[in-house]
Structure 1
Amino acid sequence: MAGRPKIFDEQEAVAKATEVFKDKGYDTASADELLCAMGIGKGSFYLAFKGGKQELYIRSIRQFSDSFYQKFSGSLTASDDQVQFIKEFFLSLADASDCDKERGCYLGNALVQLSEKDHDIKKITAQLLKKLQTLFAETIRNAQKNGQIASTEDPEVIGWHLSNLWNGIHVTRRMESSPEILRSILKMNLKILD
């Protein structure tokens, strides 16, 4: 016997659970809050997520990561000035008062909070950082060829610098919330793109 068929959209349920994880964090998000947000019962939950809350969180991180990367890379590719797009993306992190899809801080928080505790989360966040690094490096390489930026630094290293900046600003935001200070830090780091 195959069991009862699923009567809910798993991707949509995971997206709703993501909102709870963003608001509460992994440790403080209760099973009841997650089930209520997802609109499913315990039986359906454990049928779909045999690993329970941890499996749901990992799927949340993976789904959010894929969505964030697709949106970011699509917007970067479509922009008329890709270097300026990258600068504006980073500078927008200084003013972000919440955790949203465009800025990816949910992933940054997962990296800081749980990547050392959970191998799967570490793997997902490491893959995202590598994909971002590759995308940044490709953009920088093209900008150097076109004379758009003066820097002669290795594009791969600049790509890692930008990935590190994305990662690091999420850590810094946990200690410093002043947009002016965050913007100053970001501007200093982004001078490499001039």
Structure 2
Amino acid sequence: MAGRPKIFDEREAIQNATEIFRNKGYDTASAEELLNAMGIGKGSFYLAFKGGKQELYLRSIKQFAEEFNKKIAFAFENSDDHIQLIRQLFISLAYADECDVEKGCYLGNALVQLSEKDKDIKKVTAGLLKNLQKIFAEAIRKAKANNQLTTKDDPEVLAWHLTNLWNGIHVTRRMDNSPEILKTMIEMNLRVLE
């Protein structure tokens, strides 16, 4: 017996749950809030997410990471000036009002909040950071080849610096969300891309 078929769009349900997790955090998001946002009942929930709230959260992070990676990769594929794109990406983090897929802060928050508690969350968030580093490294290599950068620093090391900056901004935003302080800090760190 195969069981009852799903009568809901799983991706959409996960996306709706992501909004609750982003706004409330993993620990304070209640089952009732998640089910209401997803538009499903308990039976359907546990049929689709046998690991309960933790499985939903992990799948939410994975889905968010896929969207984030696609958007970042697409932006770089369609840009003639990768260094300017990197600058815009980081400066936009200073002024971001909300945590959205372009900024990736949901993933940064997951890394800070739960990665040491859960090896699967750590694996997903670490994978995101490694993918981001690869995108940055390729962008820097292309910029150097096109004489858009004069730095002699290794593109891999510069890319890890940027990845560390991206991650650090999400931590710093939790302490002080002053756009001007963040912008100044970001500009200082981006001087390596000259």
TM-score bracket, normalised by the shorter chain, equals over 0.9
Aligned twin of 1:164: 164
SS at match of 2:137: helix
Whether contact under 8 Å (2:58, 2:121) holds in the other structure is yes
Aligned twin of 1:146: 146
Aligned twin of 1:128: 128
Amino acid at match of 1:11: R
Q: Cα distance, 1:156 vs. partner?
A: 0.3
2 CA distance for matches of 1:18 and 1:37? 9
Whether contact under 8 Å (1:15, 1:60) holds in the other structure is yes
Q: Cα distance, 1:123 vs. partner?
A: 0.2
Whether contact under 8 Å (1:144, 1:152) holds in the other structure is no
Aligned twin of 2:189: 189
CA deviation string 1:56-79 (max 9, x = no partner): 000000000010010111011101
2 CA distance for matches of 1:127 and 1:65? 9
Aligned length: 194
Aligned twin of 1:63: 63
SS at match of 2:73: helix
Q: Cα distance, 1:22 vs. partner?
A: 0.4
Aligned twin of 2:24: 24
Structure 1, gaps ≥5 residues long:
none
1 CA distance for matches of 2:150 and 2:91? 20
1 CA distance for matches of 2:191 and 2:73? 22
Note the 1:72-87 alignment, pairs <5 A.
72-87=72-87
TM-score, normalised to structure 2, is 0.99
Structure 2, gaps ≥5 residues long:
none
Q: Does 1:96 align with 2:111?
A: no
1 CA distance for matches of 2:10 and 2:97? 29
Q: Cα distance, 1:141 vs. partner?
A: 1.1
Q: Cα distance, 1:80 vs. partner?
A: 2.2
Q: Percent identity?
A: 67
Q: Cα distance, 1:150 vs. partner?
A: 1.1
- The alignment's C-alpha RMSD in Å is 0.6
2 CA distance for matches of 1:15 and 1:34? 11
Whether contact under 8 Å (2:105, 2:170) holds in the other structure is yes
